[in-house]
Amino acid sequence: MDEDRIAERVCALAGQISADYAEIDDLLLVGVLKGAFIFLADLTRQLTVAHRVDFIALSSYNRGAESAGAVRLIMDTRASVTGHNVLIVEDILDTGYTLDYLLRTFEARRPASLRTCVLLSKPERRKIVVPVDYLGFEIPDKWVVGYGLDYADQYRTLPYIAALKREVYER
Ligand code: IMP
Ligand code: MG
């Protein structure tokens, strides 16, 4: 997936979000580190509504593509979520466990509203149903890197998104 195609889609998502939150003045974007940092940076600069940006970090897959199963919050937002309109920005939806965990964690804090924006989704991999309000692309079941996404913390800064060869992550 090349840069132009990504930029075009991010622009469309920003347009949708800007329209939906036009009447709201306390939108809080919460990016999930590290994978969402580039997507969030591009998205936030395309929004035409006033908003704030915050981050959380979660424990990720152990080293490569194998899921550790459990999700753990390792860094929380600085801003309070309670009473605010929160949009979680995530890089990719795989099994769905991470986003499900986040939604439950944030819901318990009573935000005014809570939605999700995800750049990529691998529907074949889903283990649990999670609502996505804004989706960039559906992709096949392959490990992808670039545009913030990594494999063992590598390849994040590639400007495009590419699938790794299976030999690399199925060793
Ligand atoms: P889930 O909990 O299985 O939905 O996994 C979500 C997390 O796994 C994402 O936030 C990513 O950090 C990571 N992940 C899943 N698939 C990929 C991929 O293809 N490339 C890079 N990271 C991925
Ligand atoms: Mg992620």
User: What is the residue-level pLDDT of the chain in tens, covering all 171 positions?
Assistant: 999 999 999 999 999 999 999 999 999 999 999 999 999 999 999 999 999 999 999 986 554 555 556 888 999 999 999 999 999 999 999 999 999 999 999 999 999 999 999 999 999 999 999 999 999 999 999 999 999 999 999 999 999 999 999 888 887
On the CB side of 37, CA atoms within 13 Å amount to 13
Planar angle of CA 137, 71, 83, nearest 5 degrees: 75
18 pocket-lining for ligand 1 (C-beta < 6 Å): no
CA distance 57 to 52: 17
Question: pTM of the predicted model, to two decimals?
Answer: 0.94
Amino acid at 103: L
The per-residue pLDDT for 59 is 83
CA distance 51 to 35: 21
State whether residue 58 is helix, strand or coil.
strand
Give the H or E element holding residue 119. Answer: strand 113-121
Active site residues: 94
39 pocket-lining for ligand 1 (C-beta < 6 Å): no
44 pocket-lining for ligand 1 (C-beta < 6 Å): no
Q: Whose CA is nearest to atom 9 of ligand 1?
A: 92
> Which of 67, 91, 160, 166 is the pocket-test mutation for ligand 1 (most atoms within 8 Å of CB)?
91
